[in-house]
Amino acid sequence: MFAATHARVSRRPAGVPAILLALSVVWASPAAAQLGGLVNKAKDKLVRDAGDKSGANAALEGEPVVFNDVIIELTPATLDKVITGLKASRARLGGASGRQALVAKRDKAADDAAELMNRHGVEIDRHNEKRDRIEQCRNEDLGQREAKRQEDLSQRAMTDPELRDKVMALSMKAAELQSRGDSAGLRDLEKEMRSLTAATKADSAAVDKACGILPARHPMDARIRALQAEQASYDRQIRDLEEAAAAEEARASGLPARQFAMARERIEMYLARVKSNSRQHGLTTPELQALNARRADLQQVM
């Protein structure tokens, strides 16, 4: 039975699947040819429709947009102003001491700190554990001694009129400074009041003996902390520069800051949809026409 079946199947041309032979008979008829033409037309229409809804080849079919004192129409004149502002911002951010240079310095500081941590992290941790134990011991001991001195001072104030008058004068001065909101004066007064109960040299010597002298930080730990501080400094400089550039772009454009920021956000959304070949939304037909006309200029400055 298998041999007979094999003989029947083998009568078709070699290498041509049966399904293709069947289709060749169907499509050979005039009706099938007409149907094939309709299918091809439908496929072409689907492709055209998909292209019409794309970003890069967007049909200029916008949507209604409600404009107000923040959302302004992206007319050719508005786009000119935005481009002028963005060019001013780029100029402010550029240069030898611009944002790119600051980012490179910040990243180098971060990378150097990470490298040192990877190489010396274990020994730094061991050193810090010992240092933390000593520091905790010292703080607890000194705190107990200071509390004892405060208690002794309170007892003395009840029997020593001169000391009592001094403490009362300091308290009245503190109330006066607080009522005036003089924070600097309060800090200075706090130092003066704490000096009455501060640890003496004898206290420090006793704490050194009981807990040990607080060791310096591990050299690599100190270097890592310096690099981290450097990184934070560059971060602040970058933020300050970006804020200055943002103020400069609005000023140069001649638009209020909120209007400029919203216009820029809408343009960024337009360009993002162009890049992803997505349908545009939230833009009117005239706005799409203006944006498409200035697309290359906008892509250059954004």
Question: Within a domain: residue 82?
Answer: yes
Question: Within a domain: residue 189?
Answer: yes
The total of structural domains in the chain comes to 1
- The whole-number pLDDT of residue 192 equals 80
Question: Within a domain: residue 10?
Answer: no
- The whole-number pLDDT of residue 189 equals 84
Residue 255's domain comprises 76-301
Q: What are the angstrom distances between the C-alpha of 105 and each of 95, 118, 178?
A: 14, 20, 44
Question: Within a domain: residue 18?
Answer: no
The residue with greater pLDDT, 127 or 8, is 127
Question: Within a domain: residue 44?
Answer: no
Question: Within a domain: residue 43?
Answer: no
Residue 162 — very low, low, confident or very high, per pLDDT cuts 50/70/90? confident
Interval 47-73 mean pLDDT: 68
Residue 260 — very low, low, confident or very high, per pLDDT cuts 50/70/90? very high
Contact yes or no for 290/74 (Cβ under 8 A): yes
Interval 104-126 mean pLDDT: 96
Quote the percentage of the chain above a pLDDT of 90: 56
Residue 9 — very low, low, confident or very high, per pLDDT cuts 50/70/90? very low
Please give the distance of CA 26 from its chain centroid, rounded to a whole number: 62
Question: Within a domain: residue 57?
Answer: no
- The whole-number pLDDT of residue 60 equals 58
Interval 15-36 mean pLDDT: 42
- The whole-number pLDDT of residue 20 equals 38
Which DSSP state fits 31? Answer: H
Question: Within a domain: residue 281?
Answer: yes
